[in-house]
Amino acid sequence: MEPTMLDQPGMLLVGFSFFGDPFRLSGGWTEENEIGRLWTRFMAYLGAHHARIKHVATNAVMYEVHVEHQETATTGQHEVFVGLEVDRLEDVPVELSVKVFPPATYAIFTLHGDEITSDWTRTILEWMTASGVQPAHPYSVQRYDERFKGVDHIDESVLEVHVPITQAREP
């Protein structure tokens, strides 16, 4: 799995957030775990209040962000955020969280079908080690566009994973 590279000037997302072990109730790609429940809540909010979100960059793309914290390695707890990109922040509804991403170089991994439900995190980490790069920030971004056909149609889907990278430091 060889990524493409993209220099991103920064990004603003608005959406919903969860902190904890998202797989405590159920693992894998299911609406039964905290990630699935987060998407269900966000999609219901969009259905009822989409007009309240101003300056949406595109309705055709949604994001899922995983933010690691100090305790992630030992507890599995981390933040999961789902949302939309906006061009600027104005009158953001209080129910929504905001994520402001710095400019970064991203390694973009395009996953097809069964690769989406595979252990792609390990594959990406192995690529990073072999390529002499490391995460520039403690998060990764999953980008869902019209190529993602849904959990029930993973075999027909495409998903992009964006990882901010920088050159690895010498030991």
CB neighbourhood size of 86 (10 A): 20
- Going from the N-terminus, what domains does the chain have, and what CATH number goes with each? 4-167 (3.20.80.10)
pLDDT at 25: 61
Tokens of 50: 């989409």
Is residue 160 within 8 Å of 142, Cβ to Cβ?
A: yes
Tokens of 54: 């101003």
Which residue blocks in the chain are alpha helix, DSSP H?
34-49, 72-75, 120-131
Q: Please tell me which residue, 126 or 1, carries the higher pLDDT value.
A: 126
Is residue 24 within 8 Å of 117, Cβ to Cβ?
A: no
pLDDT at 32: 64
In which residue are the tokens 């970064």 written?
104
How far is the C-alpha of 101 from the C-alpha of 16, rounded, in Å? 16
Whether pLDDT at 31 is above 70: no
What backbone torsions phi and psi does residue 127 show, to the nearest 5 degrees?
A: -60, -45
Tell me the pLDDT tens digit for each residue of 92-139.
999 999 999 999 999 999 999 999 988 898 999 999 999 999 999 999
Tell me the pLDDT tens digit for each residue of 18-30.
987 766 665 555 5
Work out the pLDDT band at 171, boundaries 50, 70, 90.
low
Taking residues 6-24, report their average pLDDT.
Answer: 88
Tell me the pLDDT tens digit for each residue of 32-86.
678 888 999 999 999 999 999 999 999 899 999 999 988 888 888 889 999 999 9
CB neighbourhood size of 159 (10 A): 21
Is residue 149 within 8 Å of 156, Cβ to Cβ?
A: yes
Tell me the pLDDT tens digit for each residue of 135-164.
999 999 999 999 999 888 999 999 999 999
How far is the C-alpha of 24 from the C-alpha of 31, rounded, in Å? 13
This prediction has a pTM of: 0.90
pLDDT at 27: 58
